[in-house]
A and B are shown apart, each in its own frame.
Chain A
Amino acid sequence: MDKKFTIMQGDEACAMGAIVAGCRFFAGYPITPATDIAEVMSSELPKVGGTFIQMEDELGSAAAIIGASLAGVKSLTATSGPGFSLMQEAFGYASMTETPTVFVDVQRGSPSTGLPTRPAQGDIMQARWGTHGDHAVIALYPSTVEETYRYIVTAFNFAELYRTPVVFLMDETLGHMRESFYLPHTDEFDTVERIQTEDLKSETVYQPFLEDSELYDDIQPLVSMGRSRFHVSGLFHDESGFPIGESDLASKLMKHFTNKIKLHLDDILIYDTYMMDDAEYVIVAYGITARSAYRAMKLARSNGIKVGMFKPITIWPFPTIPLKKILSKVSGIVVAELNMGQFAHEMSRINRNMVPMQTVLREDGQLIQPFDIVDALTKLEGESEE
């Protein structure tokens, strides 16, 4: 079957992919560079029977999608760094109440209002630790318009399966860029749907926060409100959802939050490796920087440097074990990212001085040039010869 060769903007692909994933509710507040997602959603959602609301601000947007999700509709919000900061409180609430939601963060440069029309990858750590307290999170990070279209569907599936808010990180360049790609057929995608009350087994009363469910490993699927009645609270709660203050139960819940990600890592982790078969060096890059890295890899290869590439899609949880396996085989690693070294720090934690490491960092709102990465590789090569 021939696929349609088409051209789409990154933001548009994100919105269209979300509709394929079954998203039928969008609440948001316009912010460059994520405005286009809201714009496309406002025209496309009504066509499929969905609802679009422009909220009064980002606090309201985040709260609205949690409410909509609990009511049984797959929901999405899209924002940029400043708005994502405002959403953190509600993000924690979604995490605590285990509500499936997807937060798109199209990153811009610098803290605060910063550089609205320039790319940066500075929200990496915010995506993981933005809200207070230990919490579960999954963050996906595409690097092309096609991947945006594909992985926003995955983001919705993860949100439903693991009952957690999912962060979908994008870059300003990716959001505003129009790129050609082969449009995947909608029937290529498997989407996870909410379980209806009549599908529930053995339990007479639906316990929304049960930790040992028979249905999907240990995660109790969310049943839409209206089909069941339960209490939702940001306080520590028992399986019925009512607040409790006992420390042993609190500890049980906290462990449940981390375990529901940790025990399903095999299903969650998505990453790509390129030309790793005979590679002596590895470039780790994600998002739009992965494209600089991919070109750098080809340039270096054509100049006789044997280099491969590791591109994580699930940036959180990070594919630590696969990268460690790669590190045990290579003799150098280059980390490239558009910030002052947020992820390089994480990399050095994984690397633990196993192999020499070079970083290519940039924070002036321009993309990393492929030659900068090649230069870092030649430096590594020089080091290993000494």
Chain B
Amino acid sequence: MQNNVYTSKSTTIPFSIRITGLGGQGNVLMGTILSDALVKDGKWVIQTQAYGAQVRGGLTLCDVLFSNDPIDFPKAQTFDMIFAMHDLGLKKHAKYLKNNGILFVDTSTCGVVPRFIQSVTKKIISIPVTNISEELFKSKVFANVINLGIVAATTNIVNHVRLKEAVLEHVPEKYAEKDLKALEEGYNLSNKVYSLRERLKVPYSHRTGTAFE
């Protein structure tokens, strides 16, 4: 019998990523490609998304949870990494960042990073991804793939080769070349390398009922 959710006894909290932005920026596609690449790496993954009419605009989000063990509870309340691809998303979701988490900000679409973030984390990566995409490809739509390159380079959560495979599975053939170029571009954009947190066990204070995640 292979592993599944109900064979695992682990209480490890999965790593969590939230990608937020406006509908049409490719938030969900980015999450989909990232989760596929993680699965190719042998990680257990759960991907959920805001489900609605946001493909025509409006704030949307995509959550990716991954772990070395099967994931039982499919939602997260706080996140290890947050991608803000638009100002609305940054203002609304930045508060869900875990202490010492990593915040990615697309400075071409986002305003100032809220001050309180300074007390939460120092790991902020600000890159004008959308502008770079426009300069290189005369189109905004490659911003999400550039972002994927940035993740692969700065966090090492996902193998670069696997990510390439996953990108090719999901993008139309005629854009494949451009997307791979965008991925490479993102890969070389940031020279910061952040390590992810250690394995986290759920702390639970017995009797008082208070819990922290």
Contact = CB atoms under 8 A, between A and B. Distances in A.
Interface string B26-53: 0000001001100100111111110110
B119 interface: no
B207 interface: yes
Contacts of A347: none
B4 A178 contact: no
A274 interface: yes
A182 interface: yes
B197 interface: no
B75 interface: yes
Nearest to A2: B2
B45 A7 contact: yes
Interface string A1-36: 001011100000000000000000000000011000
Interface residues of A, number: 36
A33 B73 CA distance: 20
Contacts of B47: 7, 177-179
Given A272-B6, A291-B72, A367-B75, A176 B39 contact: no
Interface string A121-146: 00000000000000000000001101
A101 interface: no
B206 A304 contact: yes
- Give the interface size bracket for B toward A: 20 to 34
A292 B199 CA distance: 20
A126 to B, nearest CB: 23
B4 A367 contact: no
B58 interface: no
Given A117-B52, A291-B74, A182 B2 contact: yes
A298 B11 contact: yes
Interface in A171-190: 173, 176-182
Given A299-B204, A302-B11, A7 B35 contact: yes
Contacts of A173: 48, 74-75
B191 interface: no
A179 B75 CA distance: 12
Contacts of A177: 46-48, 74
Contacts of A32: 51
B168 to A, nearest CB: 16
A179 B204 contact: no
B96 to A, nearest CB: 15
Interface in A53-73: none
A374 B204 contact: yes
A206 interface: no
A375 B204 CA distance: 11
Nearest to B50: A117
B161 interface: no
Nearest to A367: B75
Interface in A251-310: 272, 274, 288, 291-292, 294-295, 298-299, 302-304
B3 interface: yes
A177 B63 CA distance: 10
Given A178-B32, A180-B35, A274-B6, 10 more contacts: A3-B2, A144-B5, A146-B4, A173-B75, A177-B48, A178-B35, A179-B46, A181-B4, A182-B2, A295-B73
Interface of B: 2-6, 9-11, 32, 35-36, 39, 42-49, 51-52, 71-75, 201-202, 204, 206-207, 209, 211
10 contacts: A5-B42, A7-B39, A180-B39, A180-B44, A291-B72, A294-B73, A295-B72, A298-B10, A303-B206, A375-B209
